[in-house]
Amino acid sequence: APLIHREDYCAPVYWIRTVDLCFDLEPAKTLVTSKMQIERNSAVAHGPLRLHGEELTLLRVLINGESVSFRQEGDELVIDNAPDADFALEIRNTCAPEKNTALSGLYTSGGGFFTQCEAEGFRRITYFLDRPDVMAVYSVLLRADKARYPVLLSNGNLLEQGALDNGRHFAKWHDPFPKPSYLFALVAGDLVAREQRITTRSGKDHLLQVYVRRGDLEKTEHAMNSLIASIAWDEARFKLPLDLERFMIVGVSDFNMGAMENKGLNIFNTSALLVSPATATDADFNRIEAIVAHEYFHNWTGNRVTCRDWFQLSLKEGLTVFRDQEFSMDMAAAPSARAVKRIEDVRNLRAMQFPEDSGAMAHAVRPDSYVEINNFYTPTIYEKGAEVVRMYQTLVGREGFEKGMTLYFERHDGQAVTCDDFAAAINDANPGSELSTRLDAFKRWYSQAGTPRVQARGRFDASARTWTLDLAQANPPTPGQDDKLSQVIPVRMGLLSHAGAALPLQLQGEDAAAGTERVLVLDKAEQSFTFVGLDEAPVASLLRQFSAPVVLDDGLTDAELLVLLKFDTDAFNRWEASQRLALNRLLPVVRSGEELTLDTAYIDGMRAVLRSDQLDSAFKALALTLPSEGYIAEQLDVIDPQRIHAAVGTMQLQLARALRDDWQAAFEANQVAGGYSADPVSSGKRALANLALQMLVLDAVQTGNDIWPGRAYQRFKDAGNMTERMGALTALVFARAGLAQPALERFHALFKHEPLVIDKWFALQGRAPELDGQVFARVKQLMQHPDFSLKNPNRARSLIFSLCLFNPAAFHRTDAAGYVFWADRVLELDAINPQVAGRLARVMDRWTKLAEPYRSAAHEALARVAAKPDLSSDVREVIDRALN
Ligand code: DPP
Ligand code: ZN
């Protein structure tokens, strides 16, 4: 497959203005008739009409009702002599939904029909100009057996439905909004719906529906509530109303992504939709609220205004992630709960996006080229893209940002546009802002890959009573980008006295201090800021709220970090101090291979966090959770996964032991009584109780004490919700308690009819801390379990991704067996589902940084996969980039 370049974008030679689709749905062979109204694009030179089509059987092609000569060139249907004037094109073809294991296009799952068209799945349904800048008005007629498929859905409004001969029936749908083909959807199946009628602020009535399989209805209440809250939020915050009479969500258990924002007919992975207290954790409840919101928000940022081409993917994804993150923070409400959400988002960014930025697949938020667009639904496009949008808001202010959004929709509603158009709208709405003087430099966030490094050092001048902050930035080379230009980095900051007081901030040349927090804008390679009126060298709290996606080296000592941990008004930086203190203990021993011994300063600091009556439980749990092994690896030039694992294990154990009494007190103080609610306070308590229990069981197993494992097992059995049940089970499994095995068996027996819970069961075993190869051996054994299947993406991910992506010590083995396992699974999966295989292939992104013997063995495994001649373009691109 060829490399596609952003610079080669050309407007289409033809537009498709309307399309009438008719489906005769049969699993083995579905007949598709498509009637399109086509118009030549007078703005570009004449050329043949080239329609995309993959894995289709073509039956006929008519123009204005007459047959026409055409050619098939690879995956394109080419018509050389299309009329100059507007014309009607009719195409008839079949596709085979039942054989579609790639889950792209039209496929079957659990006896129903579903579609997934983003990015390029529509061409697997019928021949089309399958590109986002071709927007058409769709009418859809569905015909199917009534008994097997009583529910027939497509985008927009239902016009008509009725019976046909032979037990079949039909439904006719019309979507009034022009849309790109990637937003097309249809669903046919035996489904039931939770329904809710709402009246929005503007006084319009809407019907909301969540369709699932019979038996899952009770698990849709939270999704419905989240949808209603999302609608209200978008209207209140951005004045963006629901524009459809009917808004539907459908759950499906075979799905490549989390969910898909098809116009008026969102399709969701059941793992991103269904929750109940008994089957889902607090984290699941939060995640589902965020995903429902995300897909709903796409209705404006993505659907009403879409992307001109796939290089602009972050235009909709980065912006929509930003919107769902803001929504979740507003839902969390309390300042401390907002901070917890921000910490979780940053932790996720660092765990997923930073490694991407320093690996073989590093790419800009707006990439310059790709082979397979499916490989670019990445943390960079999504999460880093969201950080870029957040920086706009930081630079122009919250109101300025809202004005910018309003201008963006005024200018571009109904259009397919670019990241530059978005930047222009935000900027033009905010003349004279911090952004307007440096817009071009700011836009380097779109074009330059890599995570900038910011160095900060302070100089105190006692006689002048000034403190000067010297900032410097550098962005390390990434593939294809050796030299980078300076980026625009907003540094939200404050200064503290050593006693913890927030100091007034007055820059040299200013008349008076302006508060105790401000945003400095770093846009040069080196820049200094001098603060006046200071009696002592302050402790700098920089990059508050994580105001830019950079790596900060602030040179703070442990003593200064402890001041921040205790006194910073910025909760994010308090948490950051806890993580830095942990890293300062872990990194030296990982580098030297020496034994780790925790010092009292650290232990006392952590004890103070645990005992604090000001901090809330959710924050405590985050501060006392050690950095992940992946994040530690990120800090090192040469990675030895086994050494990292050993150091973290030792530190965990010492922390468990040193704070035993406090863990016990925390466990007892954080019990939640009464009915289940996933609110921030209750879920924070459960998070801390679960962490405390994990520490207590860990310590007990090491000292041969049975009390805590016994209590954990009891809690596991009696738990009234999945968060506590899973917490207790995790504590037993992670500590390798004797009761872990019976608990796992019991858990499986309890939930054998709940696929989403069985996914958790596999995942827990796949990410258990490795010891002597037992976890790896167990995963191989679980591959043979009757419940395991590679065909269902959730199941494949639960076991295999848990091991390969999230369990470095079980995966990176000196005998290379982990890599052999990986290569086998990539090849196996590639034959079934290239998108999922492509994601698994990404595990080796950073193989060149591994220590020996891992590095050579990883290379060998990569070479083995590369040698396979008929790899999908998904896997081929990832492997080629890893090897070059
Ligand atoms: N469904 C994916 C998302 O919402 C792709 N658009 O991010
Ligand atoms: Zn999205």
pLDDT score at 201 = 86
State mean pLDDT over 325-350.
97
Distance from the alpha carbon of residue 786 to the mean position of ligand 2, in angstroms: 34
Distance from the alpha carbon of residue 259 to the mean position of ligand 1, in angstroms: 6
Considering the domain architecture, whether residues 467 and 421 belong to the same structural domain is answered as no
Considering the domain architecture, whether residues 365 and 475 belong to the same structural domain is answered as no
390 band by pLDDT with thresholds 50, 70 and 90 = very high
Q: Is 48 exposed, middle or buried (0-12, 13-18, 19+ CB in 10 A)?
A: middle
Closest-lying ligand 1 atom to the alpha carbon of residue 298: 4
Q: Is residue 819 part of a domain?
A: no
Q: Token digits for 258?
A: 């989390």
Considering the domain architecture, whether residues 480 and 403 belong to the same structural domain is answered as no
CATH number of the domain at 82, please: 2.60.40.1730
Q: Residue 279, Cβ neighbours under 10 Å: how many?
A: 18
pLDDT exceeds 90 at position 202 = no
State mean pLDDT over 222-232.
98
Distance of alpha carbon 841 from alpha carbon 825, whole angstroms: 9
Q: Whose CA is closest to 200, among 171, 163, 240, 164?
A: 240
pLDDT score at 35 = 98
Residue of minimum CA distance from atom 4 in ligand 1: 260
Q: Is residue 404 part of a domain?
A: yes
160 bridge partner residues: 172
Tell me which of 260, 307, 374 to substitute to probe ligand 1's pocket, judged by most ligand atoms within 8 Å of the beta carbon. 260
Q: What is the ipTM of this complex?
A: 0.98
pLDDT exceeds 90 at position 72 = yes
Closest-lying ligand 1 atom to the alpha carbon of residue 294: 4
Considering the domain architecture, whether residues 385 and 489 belong to the same structural domain is answered as no
| Among 159-163, 200-204, 696-700, the least confident range | 200-204
What is the H or E stretch that residue 702 is in? helix 680-703
Q: Are 18 and 37 in contact (CB under 8 A)?
A: yes
State mean pLDDT over 259-283.
98
Specify the pairing of strand 205-213 against strand 191-199.
Answer: antiparallel
Question: Is the CB of 295 inside a 6 Å radius of any atom of ligand 1?
Answer: yes
Distance from the alpha carbon of residue 316 to the mean position of ligand 1, in angstroms: 9
CA atoms within 13 A on the CB side of 485: 11
Question: Is the CB of 324 inside a 6 Å radius of any atom of ligand 1?
Answer: no
Q: Are 692 and 671 in contact (CB under 8 A)?
A: no
Q: Residue 565, Cβ neighbours under 10 Å: how many?
A: 23
Q: What is the pLDDT of residues 699-741, one digit of tens each?
A: 999 999 999 999 999 999 999 999 999 999 999 999 999 999 9
CATH number of the domain at 412, please: 1.10.390.10
Of the listed ligands, the closest to the CA of 266 is: 1
Q: Which amino acid is at 773?
A: G
pLDDT exceeds 90 at position 615 = yes
543: left (phi over 0), alpha (psi -120 to 50) or beta: left
Q: Is residue 695 part of a domain?
A: no
Would you call the peptide bond into 119 cis, given omega within 30 degrees of 0 as the criterion?
yes
Crossing angle (nearest 10°) for helices 313-332 and 221-238: 100
Q: Are 466 and 508 in contact (CB under 8 A)?
A: yes
Show which of 155, 174, 189 is a domain's final residue.
189
Q: What is the pLDDT of residues 109-162, one digit of tens each?
A: 999 999 999 999 999 999 999 999 999 999 999 999 999 999 999 999 999 999
pLDDT score at 853 = 98
640 band by pLDDT with thresholds 50, 70 and 90 = very high
401 band by pLDDT with thresholds 50, 70 and 90 = very high
CATH number of the domain at 520, please: 2.60.40.1840
- Full-model pTM: 0.99
Please give the full DSSP string across 763-829, using - where no structure is assigned: HHHHTSPPSTTHHHHHHHHHTTSTT--SSSHHHHIIIIIHHHHH-HHHHS-TT-HHHHHHHHHHHHH
Q: Which amino acid is at 670?
A: N
Show which of 536, 555, 574 is a domain's final residue.
555
Q: Are 780 and 791 in contact (CB under 8 A)?
A: no
Considering the domain architecture, whether residues 538 and 465 belong to the same structural domain is answered as yes
pLDDT exceeds 90 at position 830 = yes
Q: Is residue 603 part of a domain?
A: no
Q: Whose CA is closest to 244, among 326, 181, 173?
A: 173
Distance of alpha carbon 40 from alpha carbon 150, whole angstroms: 40
Distance from the alpha carbon of residue 290 to the mean position of ligand 2, in angstroms: 11
Residue of minimum CA distance from atom 2 in ligand 1: 260
Higher-pLDDT residue of 200 and 708 is 708
163 bridge partner residues: 169
Q: How high does pLDDT run on average in the chain?
A: 98
Q: Is residue 156 part of a domain?
A: yes
Considering the domain architecture, whether residues 421 and 354 belong to the same structural domain is answered as yes
What is the H or E stretch that residue 78 is in? strand 76-79
Question: Residues 721-725: contacts with CB within 8 Å, 24+ apart?
Answer: 721/277, 721/278, 721/676, 722/277, 722/278, 722/279, 722/280, 722/281, 722/284, 722/757, 723/281, 723/282, 723/283, 723/683, 723/686, 723/690, 724/686, 724/689, 724/690
Q: Residue 39, Cβ neighbours under 10 Å: how many?
A: 12
Show which of 520, 555, 590 is a domain's final residue.
555
Distance of alpha carbon 55 from alpha carbon 125, whole angstroms: 8
508 band by pLDDT with thresholds 50, 70 and 90 = very high
Catalytic residue among 120, 261, 295, 326: 295
Distance of alpha carbon 793 from alpha carbon 787, whole angstroms: 13
pLDDT score at 691 = 99
Crossing angle (nearest 10°) for helices 680-703 and 707-718: 140
Task: State the residue range of the domain holding 149.
Answer: 4-189
Would you call the peptide bond into 853 cis, given omega within 30 degrees of 0 as the criterion?
yes
Question: Is the CB of 554 inside a 6 Å radius of any atom of ligand 1?
Answer: no
The yes-or-no answer on residue 410 being catalytic is no
Q: Whose CA is closest to 625, among 671, 565, 691, 708?
A: 691
Tell me which of 116, 118, 249, 307 to substitute to probe ligand 1's pocket, judged by most ligand atoms within 8 Å of the beta carbon. 118
Tell me which of 317, 322, 376, 381 to substitute to probe ligand 1's pocket, judged by most ligand atoms within 8 Å of the beta carbon. 317
Distance of alpha carbon 485 from alpha carbon 559, whole angstroms: 35
Considering the domain architecture, whether residues 72 and 165 belong to the same structural domain is answered as yes
pLDDT score at 52 = 98
Considering the domain architecture, whether residues 47 and 81 belong to the same structural domain is answered as yes
State mean pLDDT over 92-108.
98
140 bridge partner residues: 21, 173
Distance from the alpha carbon of residue 132 to the mean position of ligand 2, in angstroms: 15
Distance from the alpha carbon of residue 293 to the mean position of ligand 2, in angstroms: 10
Q: Are 589 and 648 in contact (CB under 8 A)?
A: no
Crossing angle (nearest 10°) for helices 600-611 and 571-592: 150
Considering the domain architecture, whether residues 57 and 113 belong to the same structural domain is answered as yes
Specify the pairing of strand 526-532 against strand 466-474.
Answer: antiparallel
Q: Is residue 614 part of a domain?
A: no
Q: Is residue 816 part of a domain?
A: no
Question: Is the CB of 259 inside a 6 Å radius of any atom of ligand 1?
Answer: yes
567 band by pLDDT with thresholds 50, 70 and 90 = very high
Using the structure block, give the residue that is written with the tokens 């608990």.
743
55: left (phi over 0), alpha (psi -120 to 50) or beta: left
Considering the domain architecture, whether residues 146 and 8 belong to the same structural domain is answered as yes
Total tally of structural domains belonging to the chain = 3
Residue of minimum CA distance from atom 7 in ligand 1: 317
Q: Is residue 574 part of a domain?
A: no
Considering the domain architecture, whether residues 385 and 503 belong to the same structural domain is answered as no
Q: Whose CA is closest to 264, among 184, 189, 172, 149?
A: 184
Of the listed ligands, the closest to the CA of 373 is: 1
Distance of alpha carbon 630 from alpha carbon 596, whole angstroms: 19
Considering the domain architecture, whether residues 132 and 95 belong to the same structural domain is answered as yes
Tell me which of 298, 380, 835 to substitute to probe ligand 1's pocket, judged by most ligand atoms within 8 Å of the beta carbon. 298
